[in-house]
Chain A
Amino acid sequence: MLTYTIRRLVLAIPTLLFISLVIFLLLELAPGDPMAQVPLTVPPEVKEKMRLALGLGEPTHIRFLKWMWQFFVVEPMMFFDWLFGTALAEGQQRVLSWQFRSPVMDVIVQRMPQTLWVVAMSYVVGILIALPIGIYSAYRQYSVFDQTGTFVTMVGYSVPPFFSGVLVIVIFSVQLGWLPSIYDTTLVVVDWATFKQQLMQMVMPVMVLALQTTAQISRFMRASMLDNLNQDYVRTARAKGLSEWSVIMVHVLRNSMIPVVTVIALGVPSIFGGAIITEQIFKVNGLGQLLITAIEANDLPMVQTVTFIIAVLIVFFNIVADVLYGVLDPRIRYD
């Protein structure tokens, strides 16, 4: 298992390098000029110097290698410095954002908490709702509960977040006036009142994202439970005289969780992608919103870095899912 994990991690390196190259080359084709906003009164030789200062003077492959050096060496060194107060990265050039004129990583670190709060919370809420629904609708297959559950999950699949998000805004903020439609990121939780306010503004984005998560995962849970409920070992467990609760919740559930856990792991990065739209609707200034504004402002280093971070997440969680599958299911051996 350990050798398998190490092999996968090593194999992930060329994949990630290739992905970063693809993103870089795609952005290389961008028609926009970061110097377009500079006033015409600036003389051409000064403009040329500014261009060089942005790192635009070099040929493509040199710039790609420089970006890689900055991303894989300088930024981890900065992180190390920040952790232990050393000065390894002193004076090193970092990945600079064109629109913020500051290191890309600093901006990402500022935006990360908002995304993590809203997205991670909604993922957890979605899973917590999905599991009982999946278990119960498999246990009572074709019952009213199951039929309703199937319909609701179908709706959850089909209603895109940019409609469900707008719909809940119309209902809860415009009509009823219960919840704020804009996520206030400057809010600092210090006491009960601000905590309540934070909770109120998180309800709607979490609801929208959780609907999608719930739809997918409860479907998987139900299918996986159904596969296991007809197995012989379930009959044996019942024949032994175990209570229904321990048959379902101990014997069947533990076996059914194996594929569901991997699906949950695989879904983590896609939630970051899906959150792009939800963040845009509720004006959460998280990573997704950062990416959209960077794309609109032609801020190529920012787009490159954020997209690549999402790619890293996807590759990493793919490996996590495969390894988890092997760990949880003794029938599967990667050798």
Chain B
Amino acid sequence: MTDAPDPKPIAALADKGPTAPPRSQWRDVWDQFKTHRGALAGGIVLLFIIVTVFVGPYLWPYDATFIDIRARNQGPSLTHPFGTDQLGRDMLARMMAGGQTSIAVGLTAMLLALGLGSLIGVLAGFFRRLDGPLMRLTDLFLSLPLLPLLLVMVLLFRETLSGILGPETGIFILIVVAIGVTSWMPTARIVRGDVLALKEREFILAARSIGTTNYNLITRHILPNVMSPIMVSATLGIANAIITESALSFLGLGFPPDFPTWGRLLNDATQYLQDYPERVFWPGLAISLTVLSINYMGDGLRDALDPRIRGR
């Protein structure tokens, strides 16, 4: 037992602790996102629209379905800032109610398309045996004429589904499923490409060498790494779904007439185009503004999630 003193630590050899507190990846992403002015503006506008649409009806005195036939076809005034329609319903209230449906359809259809797309993309990229058949299926779906098929699907199943689930829920589910089933292909392709590249990396090999099961490999190692392309296609998916729902409603094949959505309001307004042209303006503006801000956010998100750009 020697009780020699511990050698004195040499200052130059000591490990330097990190000077800055640790930063998470999402913090970096947010910092980069903030520098994209368009994306930030888009986010604020979108937030404003969502808050107005979902909170507004609690503050606004008029109901979207309240008919005041004496006050019909009014122009903008203090009591009715957006005017009233041909049955005297307040346009602002209808816009808010319509926005709830349009945004809800956009979000749910996007989630469905994203789920399907990620599932098929991960399966095709991860299991070589499934790659061929699943990618042929994707190609097949990509070569289907989507808008005509959507129209046909909605027309064929609307009676049946609204009979089973009631007119509103039935059509909501029908439209969400129809849009989701016809818009998962781009996500699947992008995810497959990324998974194929990831599969060859060392950390996957390391995970596999310690006996990680395929399920855990996918959920713990693959999915978090393909999150960024999925998020970008999520934003584009919402925009796409909102436009498709509005197009269906505009063609008269969407929600029932007394159930406002932005597309439906636009369709109603076009019938009075000669006399009250200003009425088409608000629903159209709402759709365009929402989609525009989502697209800008997607643009900013793509830059923020790309580590090659983030440092600059």
Contact = CB atoms under 8 A, between A and B. Distances in A.
Contacts of B147: 273-274, 276
B295 interface: yes
Interface string B190-233: 00000000000000000000000000000000000000000000
A116 B156 CA distance: 29
Nearest to B155: A295
**Chain B CB within 10 Å, residue with most, of A155, A158, A314:** A158
Nearest to A274: B147
A181 B270 CA distance: 12
Contact of A277 (B142, B160, B250, B269): B250
B188 to A, nearest CB: 17
Given A163-B288, A170-B277, A15 B145 contact: no
Interface in B136-187: 139-140, 142-149, 151-153, 155-157, 159-160
B148 A160 contact: no
A306 B148 contact: yes
A314 B287 contact: no
Interface string B273-284: 110010011001
Interface residues of B, number: 44
B284 A31 contact: no
A169 interface: yes
**Chain A CB within 10 Å, residue with most, of B142, B147, B155, B266:** B147
**Chain B CB within 10 Å, residue with most, of A22, A163, A169, A274:** A163
B49 interface: no
A146 B295 CA distance: 18
A318 interface: yes
Interface string A291-335: 110011000000100110011001100100000000000000000
A30 interface: yes
Contacts of A112: none
Q: Is the interface of A mostly helix, strand, loop or mixed?
A: helix
A309 to B, nearest CB: 9
A159 B288 contact: yes
B288 A158 contact: yes
A273 B274 contact: no
A29 interface: yes
B156 A31 contact: yes
B292 A155 contact: yes
A27 B153 CA distance: 9
A223 B157 CA distance: 42
Interface in A239-294: 269, 273-274, 276-277, 280-281, 291-292
A160 B270 CA distance: 15
A167 B251 contact: no
B243 interface: yes
A307 to B, nearest CB: 5
A170 B273 contact: yes
A18 interface: yes
Nearest to A269: B145
Given A158-B239, A160-B243, A166 B156 contact: no
Nearest to A307: B148
A154 B292 contact: yes
Nearest to B269: A166
A115 to B, nearest CB: 14
Contact of A162 (B155, B250, B285): B250
A42 interface: no
**Chain A CB within 10 Å, residue with most, of B157, B269, B270, B296:** B270
Contacts of A200: none
B287 A163 contact: yes
Nearest to A159: B288
A160 B156 contact: no
Contacts, number: 121
A276 B148 contact: yes
B247 A15 contact: no
Contacts of B292: 154-155, 157-159
Contacts of B299: 154
A31 B160 contact: yes
B195 to A, nearest CB: 24
Contact of B246 (A160, A175, A296, A314): A160
A13 interface: no
A108 interface: no
A160 B291 contact: yes
Contacts of B247: 160, 162, 277
Nearest to B285: A163
A16 to B, nearest CB: 9
B263 interface: yes
B280 A154 contact: no
Nearest to B242: A160
Contacts of A163: 266, 280, 284-285, 287-288
Contacts of B239: 158
A175 B288 CA distance: 22
A160 B143 contact: no
Interface of B: 38, 139-140, 142-149, 151-153, 155-157, 159-160, 239, 243, 246-247, 250-251, 253, 263, 266, 269-270, 273-274, 277, 280-281, 284-285, 287-288, 291-292, 295-296, 299
Given A163-B288, A175-B277, 18 more contacts: A19-B140, A19-B144, A26-B156, A154-B299, A157-B292, A158-B291, A160-B243, A160-B291, A162-B263, A163-B285, A174-B274, A276-B151, A277-B251, A295-B151, A303-B148, A306-B148, A307-B145, A314-B143
16 contacts: A26-B149, A26-B153, A159-B288, A162-B284, A163-B280, A269-B145, A273-B148, A276-B148, A291-B148, A295-B148, A295-B152, A295-B155, A295-B253, A303-B148, A307-B145, A314-B145
The 10 A-B pairs of least Cβ separation, nearest first, read A163-B284, A158-B292, A310-B145, A158-B291, A170-B277, A162-B250, A159-B288, A273-B147, A307-B148, A314-B143
